[in-house]
Amino acid sequence: MTLPFTDRTWLWLAAALYLAGFMQGSIALFKRGRPADGATYLLILLGYLAQLAGLGLRGRAVGGCPLGNTFELYQFTAWSAITLYLVVGATFRLSLLGYFTACLASTVTLVSLLFPGWDAGQRVRIFGHNPWIELHAALAVFSYGVFALLALTSVMFLLRHFSLKSKRLGGWFSFLPSIRDVDHMGVRLLAAGTAILGFALAVGAVYWARPETVVNLDKIVVTVAVAGAAFALLLLRLRGILLARRFALACLILFAAALLSLATVEPGRGRIPARPAPAAR
Amino acid sequence: MSTGHLFVIGATHHRTPLEVRERLALDADGARALRDQLAALPGLREFAVLSTCNRIEFYGVATGAEVAAQVGGAFCRRQQFDPAEFARFQLDLRDEAALQHLVEVAAGLDSQMLGETEIFGQMKQAYASAQAAGHTGPVLNRAFQKAFQAAKQVRTQTAITTGQVSVANVAVELAGTIFGGLEDARILLLGAGEIGEKTAKAFQSRGAASLTVASRRLERAMELATTLGASALPFEQREARLAEFDIVVCATSTPEIILPQAAVRAAMARRPARPLFLIDQALPRDIEPTVAELENVFLYNLDDLARVAEENRAAREAETLKGRAIAGEKARALWQQVAAQVTASDPAPAREPARPGADASVPETR
């Protein structure tokens, strides 16, 4: 049976559902004066399933994890962040995390869809038949998704910090989680992201060490730099040197750096073959 | 023409001063005796008595316009209160207006502390007693049950219960925005006066388990610590041991600063990752104001707390219009359901007999 949707249609649907979650959350917060975490969670879950279908079709078409161009990298990063949110959101029930996640996911997915050029060079079997390098790439991008969620908790921390210091506690500030809860969550996410990225680098290193492999040096330097920065940040936090507001700001910078580093990952690859026939459509 | 009607008469905090409410308050025996008396009153088909510190109200279904006045008269006689004076303060509402009042009271919209939920429990208890004694019938049963439902709706669809409105509770709520749960928060109370004690009790009521009291007079600190189930600390050790605490409540009458910035800075250096919440309820202030500039330190003084309480109160006030609209809508619908039974000249059955073995539990509301 052929699915009626193409991969991009599913991804558009996912973006629309994330946007619906964000808008529904905004209406609940600013018009009704209360968060709608349950409804937001449901819309994000539906968006996640649509995105999973889209990325699944894409993966089948390219014969591997869809990480072959900027569009796919951003989509996969957003998908990773949502995967983690669905677990974290259900487990820790941080108020408003769903709202911020819906905002980030809709922005990243819509922006990636709105630039057709980002999806122009879709490549087939970029990892060859090496499952390890595919695992390396998937884990590395997944860790960026974790950093995306870390950026969201950092924004929540900064907002809560501002509300407490400026003594503005009413309105939607009142729905933010406690400053200690978001701080703890930030540390956990940073530790998880650093561990995943570290593991991804270790897997990749085995492949890079082979004499026949030609890898773009810029990509290695930038990726190692991101991992090093994440590790240093974690160490500074655990040793009590970088704390509270400055720690949250540093986490935001880390995520921005991770996103920017994707630009070096893309040209770091070999020649780009023509877009495959629409087999997955 | 039918003269059946539903009424509520009584006296509430709105028009009745505290010293008058004291004289109108019913004790348990008095309430029982009055209820027996009202049960025998001709024309009073159903009734329930709500007696709290802020209100005494009689809800009834009567045949005859004079019955409500007779209920008021019986009450005044029991309390040896001048009926003419009672009439000056008296609340007297009929039919749909009485139902709207019932819903508003249950929802906390008519409470002195707007949105408080204690009244809901008091009302359920009053209804349960009346029902168990067989004083309510089809009209009041439906009215109370629907009022409870409507009250829940008012509370969930408006923000009348959000935000604390007393200074002590605001401090506790603020601590929640910093620490989440208070179970593992360590609290130091500096000053053993009434204000500090009240705040400490508010913290304990929200689950704070670790409380230490320090006062210039150690014996007073120990006395209060015993009352609160806390431990005492010599006042001179407050700076040295400050790093051990997460929340510090200052409420001394000392004219000078007792927690200078240097002391707080030194404490934070020993516990940099844990936030410190400082509550300065003293006048003149106990904590140096520049402490607020320190990272991970949150300082709130009396004015800050009062301003938050006032903002919360204003926010609740703003929600009352929405709450009253819901109450009005529910009362209208309810009146349409019971009007025929209320106004019937020969209602049957008049009063639902008390069920054998009926307890004080409230039937499930649907």
B167-309 maps to CATH 3.90.79.10: no
Which CATH code for domain B4-157?
3.30.460.30
Interface A–B counts its CB contacts (< 8 A) at 53
Residue A281 placed within a domain: no
Q: Worst-scoring range by mean pLDDT, A64-68, B34-38, B298-302?
A: A64-68
For chain A, the residues whose C-beta falls within 8 A of a C-beta of chain B are 33-34, 160, 163-165, 167, 169-170, 174, 176-181, 240, 243-246
Q: What is the mean pLDDT of chain B?
A: 87
Model confidence at B264, in pLDDT bands (50, 70, 90)?
Answer: very high
Query: Which stretch, A217-221, A250-254, B63-67, has highest mean pLDDT?
Result: A250-254
Flag if A180 and B275 touch (Cβ within 8 Å). Answer: yes
> What pLDDT does B250 receive?
94
> What pLDDT does A93 receive?
66
| Chain B residues near residue A165 by CB distance under 8 angstroms | 292, 298
Q: How far is B273 from chain A (nearest CA, A)?
A: 6
Flag if B273 and A240 touch (Cβ within 8 Å). Answer: yes
Residues in Cβ contact with B265 at an 8 Å cutoff, skipping those fewer than 6 apart:
B294
Q: Count of domains in chain A?
A: 1
Copy the structure tokens of residue B200.
Answer: 């400490």
Flag if B163 and A170 touch (Cβ within 8 Å). Answer: yes
Does residue B352 come out as left (phi exceeding 0), alpha (psi in the -120 to 50 range) or beta?
beta
What are the domain boundaries of chain B?
4-157, 167-309
Give the count of beta carbons closer than 10 Å to the beta carbon of residue A134: 18
Does residue B278 come out as left (phi exceeding 0), alpha (psi in the -120 to 50 range) or beta?
beta
Bigger pLDDT: A216 vs B170? B170
Has residue A276 got a pLDDT over 70?
Answer: no
Rounded to whole angstroms, what are the CA distances from A142 to A13, A145, A185? 22, 5, 18
Residues in Cβ contact with A137 at an 8 Å cutoff, skipping those fewer than 6 apart:
A65, A67, A127, A200, A204
Q: Give residue-wise pLDDT tens across range B107-161.
A: 999 888 788 888 899 999 999 999 999 999 999 999 999 999 999 999 888 888 8
Copy the structure tokens of residue A13.
Answer: 């649907």
How far, in Å, CA of B112 to CA of B16, rounded?
A: 12
- Tokens 């707080």 -> residue: B264
Quote the distance between the C-alpha of residue A200 and its chain's center.
15
Terminal Cα-to-Cα distance of chain A (whole angstroms):
12
Residue of chain B whose Cα is closest to the Cα of A243: B273
Strands B44-51 and B55-63: antiparallel
Q: Is residue B76 annotated as part of the catalytic site, yes or no?
A: no
Quote the distance between the C-alpha of residue A207 and its chain's center.
25
Are the C-beta atoms of A107 and A175 separated by less than 8 Å? no
Q: How far is A87 from chain B (nearest CA, A)?
A: 20
Flag if A178 and B177 touch (Cβ within 8 Å). Answer: yes
Q: Give residue-wise pLDDT tens across range B79-121.
A: 888 888 888 888 999 999 999 999 999 999 988 878 888 889 9
Strands B55-63 and B210-215: unpaired
Flag if B178 and A174 touch (Cβ within 8 Å). Answer: no
Give me the mean pLDDT over the B277-306 stretch: 92
Flag if B180 and A176 touch (Cβ within 8 Å). Answer: no
**How many CA atoms lie within 13 Å of A59's alpha carbon, on the beta-carbon side?**
13
Q: What is the mean pLDDT of chain A?
A: 83
Q: Give residue-wise pLDDT tens across range B207-232.
A: 888 999 999 989 899 999 999 999 99
Model confidence at B6, in pLDDT bands (50, 70, 90)?
Answer: very high
Residue A41 placed within a domain: yes
Model confidence at A211, in pLDDT bands (50, 70, 90)?
Answer: low
Residue of chain B whose Cα is closest to the Cα of A33: B159
String of DSSP letters for B155-168: HHHS-TT-S--SHH
For chain A, the residue count is 281
Model confidence at A278, in pLDDT bands (50, 70, 90)?
Answer: very low
Q: Worst-scoring range by mean pLDDT, A160-174, A180-194, A197-211, A220-234?
A: A197-211
Copy the structure tokens of residue B212.
Answer: 């230490």
DSSP annotation of B297: E
Give the count of beta carbons closer than 10 Å to the beta carbon of residue B5: 19
Q: Residue A106: which H helix or E strand, with range? A: helix A97-114
Instruction: Kindly name the residue from B39, B53, B240, B283 that is annotated as catalytic.
Output: B53
Reduced 3-state DSSP string for B207-254:
CCCEEEEEECCHHHHHHHHHHHCCEEEEHHHCCCCHHHCCEEEECCCC
> Would you report the helix, strand and coil content of chain B in percent, each value rounded to 5?
50, 15, 35
Model confidence at B347, in pLDDT bands (50, 70, 90)?
Answer: low
For chain B, the residue count is 366
List the single best residue of B156, B158, B173, B177 to mutate versus A (max A Cβ within 10 A): B177
| Chain B residues near residue A94 by CB distance under 8 angstroms | none
Are the C-beta atoms of B104 and B328 separated by less than 8 Å? no
For chain B, the residues whose C-beta falls within 8 A of a C-beta of chain A are 159, 162-163, 174, 176-180, 272-275, 292, 295-296, 298, 300, 304, 307-308, 311-312, 315
Domain hosting residue A213, numbered range: 7-265
Are the C-beta atoms of B123 and B167 separated by less than 8 Å? no
Q: Which amino acid, residue A166? A: S
Q: Which amino acid, residue B341? A: Q
**How many CA atoms lie within 13 Å of B335's alpha carbon, on the beta-carbon side?**
19
Copy the structure tokens of residue A232.
Answer: 């240093």
pTM of the model: 0.73
